[in-house]
Amino acid sequence: MSQCFRRVAATAFAAGLCAPLSAFSHAALIEAETAQAIRLHALYDTGEPMSHAQVIIYAPDDPSTPWGQGVTDRDGRLEFVLGNEPGRWSFQVRQSGHGAMVHMEIGADAPVIMTASSAQGWGQRLLMVALVAWGALGTAAFVYRRKGGRNASA
């Protein structure tokens, strides 16, 4: 009886080893590692976020073919992890014909350097408008004076 039981147990054990082979193909393998993520924040120059804007990422070795794509969230933010390739990565954010290109220099073992246009302050903008207005008014005054001189001499 005990010998019979041992045979049954040994057969069941052997069957148990073989039977789950197909089930192993559905097993999940998970690897976790730390990586440096890029956090993009896209805004219009009025300060409003570029919500749901499309982002196209270009790798250093091929600046014409997109390496990856994404969409910003409601606040104009997008986070992603780049490949390990060092060099100048480019990101284009665009929405309804508006947008901008940002470039990032990523060194082999150096920190990320970001280059992007920054918004100008109101003081700087007003100064520029004033300078252009001054030029235009000067042009107008010059022409008026010249015409006045011509009329006076005539």
Partner 1 sequence: MHLPDGIVPVDMALAGYAASAGLVALALHRIKALPDPQAEIPRVAMLTTVFFAASLIAVPVPPASVHLMLAGLMGVMLGWFALPAIMVGLFLQAMLFGHGGITALGLNGLILGAPALLAFGLWRQIGGRWPDVAAFLAGSGAVLAALALFAAIVLAGLPAVIDAGAERMALLVLIAAHLPLALAEGVIVMTLLRVLRRVEPRLVPHG
Residues in contact with partner 1 by the rule CB under 8 A: 44-46, 48, 52, 54, 56, 66, 69, 71, 92, 94-101, 117, 120, 125, 128-129, 132-133, 135-137, 139-141, 143-144, 146-147
- DSSP code of 43? B
- DSSP of 80-92: EE--S--EEEEEE
Q: How far is the CB of 144 from partner 1 (least distance, A)?
A: 6
Q: How far is the CB of 139 from partner 1 (least distance, A)?
A: 4
User: Tokens at residue 75, please?
Assistant: 């606040």
Between 19 and 137, name the residue whose CB sits nearer to partner 1: 137
Could you give the CA distance from residue 89 to residue 55 in angstroms, rounded to a whole number? 13
Contact 52, 72 (CB under 8 A): yes
Between 7 and 144, name the residue whose CB sits nearer to partner 1: 144
Q: How far is the CB of 148 from partner 1 (least distance, A)?
A: 12
**In what helix (H) or strand (E) does residue 20 lie, and over which residues does it extend?**
none
Between 112 and 141, name the residue whose CB sits nearer to partner 1: 141
Contact 85, 61 (CB under 8 A): yes
Residues β-bridged to residue 37? 81
Q: Helix (H, G, I), strand (E, B), or coil: what is residue 68?
A: strand
How far is the first Cα of the chain from the last one, in angstroms, to the nearest whole number? 138
Q: How far is the CB of 123 from partner 1 (least distance, A)?
A: 12
Q: How far is the CB of 73 from partner 1 (least distance, A)?
A: 14
Between 12 and 137, name the residue whose CB sits nearer to partner 1: 137
Between 14 and 140, name the residue whose CB sits nearer to partner 1: 140
